[in-house]
Amino acid sequence: MCVALAFPEEWNFLAAIANTVNALHLIAEDEVRPAKLKWDFSGWLCFHYRSSARLQGSADMRIVYRKVDSEVLVMGFGHRFIPKDLYQCMREG
């Protein structure tokens, strides 16, 4: 739902979902360098990626996850700031 709000144009939404799937594959194969989270998210990792290959500049999307054995457990994913702060959304449940 939040991804749809962040990317209301269909082409942009589809690109964001495709890049999310690609990012999950990279995470599963240990081909990323995630950031270690702290405070409320201690023990979780965060991978930053772009919603679209057309996007220039910094990564606008996040996946918060942890790996347990060969499984990837995802706490949440979406645009960093739209429709609101991703980390705040996850704190609120």
Domain ranges of the chain: 2-92
Q: Confidence band (pLDDT; 50, 70, 90) for 3?
A: confident
- pLDDT higher than 60, residue 89: yes
- pLDDT higher than 60, residue 1: no
Q: What is the CATH number of domain 2-92?
A: 3.30.2310.20
Q: Are 75 and 44 in contact (CB under 8 A)?
A: yes
The contacts of residue 74 (CB under 8 Å, 6+ apart) are: 24, 63, 64, 65
pLDDT in tens, 17-52: 999 999 999 999 999 999 999 998 999 999 999 998
Nearest to 6 by CA among 63, 62, 81, 91: 81
Q: Is the pTM of this model over 0.85?
A: yes
